[in-house]
Amino acid sequence: MSLLAVAVGGRGVVSPAEPVLRADDEALLRGRAAFETIRVYGGRPFKLAEHLDRLAGSAERIGLPAVNRLELEQLAQEALGAAEVPDAVLRLYWTPTPVSIALVSALADHYDELRTRGQKLISLRGVRADEPWLLPGVKSTSYAVNMAAEAEARRQGADDAVFVDADATVLEGPTTNVWWRRDRTLFTPSLDLGILAGVTRATVLELAGDCGYAVEEGHFGLTELLAADEAFTSSSVREVMPVTELDGAPVARGPAADELQAALRRAAEATLRA
Ligand SMILES: Cc1ncc(COP(=O)(O)O)c(C=O)c1O
């Protein structure tokens, strides 16, 4: 992560080299903090309210104090002002102490190239979070497993992973939601599988109809993804990213990923004009 600016509750903008947590904050000791990663277009965080809603839900479910939305919004503005870049990644953290932190980092420069080339995915066994203590839909800083899955994908020569459960039901990627298309219907795993309710997933659900696609959410096996006419992932930072290979088998390119990516960018531009 190329860190451009940091703002901390009660302190405002601090140097990225400054310590921001106490040593006994369980964010550090146990990975027990809530966070959000948000794409900034033209200086403005896209879908900030939706991300703050999810942050508040995550914080509640891991037993943190109620999120101070106003403070986080203020810190986001201050950090973005200090970073002085129109297109960036904003991360918001809420820890048990509580400490609120806004980080602004540069966008990785390989995403557009990856969108042109298309990504290679491998399937990895993940955990279906279908019990409350597995924290379904919670975005916490306990992401070591997700990062290990990304590293395993790279070790196998792929770009990213897609988690499947013990029955090979498709879940999600380590930091993405997964989609595929057959004819004019898009398919994506349903939220009752314990996957994260992606903000981009919700945006794609809205945009799909305008692009002329029906959507089916449900429990689908990996074989259905392998037999798709096209596939893609969605996330705030990587946006809509086409898949060209899954477990070594080619996946066809198709129009939906490009159409939805263009629609997503139009939606982001429209919020700048509003
Ligand atoms: C596990 C997981 N699934 C899906 C997503 C995509 O969510 P969003 O579209 O809100 O970025 C993320 C984002 O980081 C994630 O961590």
Q: Indicate if ligand 1 lies below 6 Å from the C-beta of 203.
A: no
Q: Indicate if ligand 1 lies below 6 Å from the C-beta of 141.
A: no
Residue 45 backbone zone (phi > 0: left; psi -120 to 50: alpha; other: beta): beta
Say if CB 198 and CB 234 are below 8 A apart: yes
Q: How far is the CA of 132 from the centre of ligand 1 (A)?
A: 19
Q: Indicate if ligand 1 lies below 6 Å from the C-beta of 236.
A: yes
Looking at residue 123, what is its pLDDT? 98
pTM of the model: 0.97
Which of 176, 203, 236 maximizes ligand 1 atoms within 8 Å of its Cβ, making it the mutation to test the pocket?
176
CA distances from 131 to 25, 139, 140, 143, 193 (A): 26, 15, 16, 18, 10
pLDDT profile of the chain (274 residues), mean per 10: 95 96 95 98 98 98 98 98 97 97 96 96 96 96 97 98 98 98 98 98 98 98 98 98 98 98 97 89
Looking at residue 1, what is its pLDDT? 82
Q: Atom 16 in ligand 1: which residue has the minimum CA distance? A: 175
d(CA 49, CA 162): 28
d(CA 94, CA 92): 7
d(CA 42, CA 44): 6
Q: Indicate if ligand 1 lies below 6 Å from the C-beta of 37.
A: yes
CA distances from 94 to 18, 37, 39, 199, 224 (A): 17, 12, 18, 18, 38
Q: How far is the CA of 55 from the centre of ligand 1 (A)?
A: 12
Q: Indicate if ligand 1 lies below 6 Å from the C-beta of 176.
A: yes
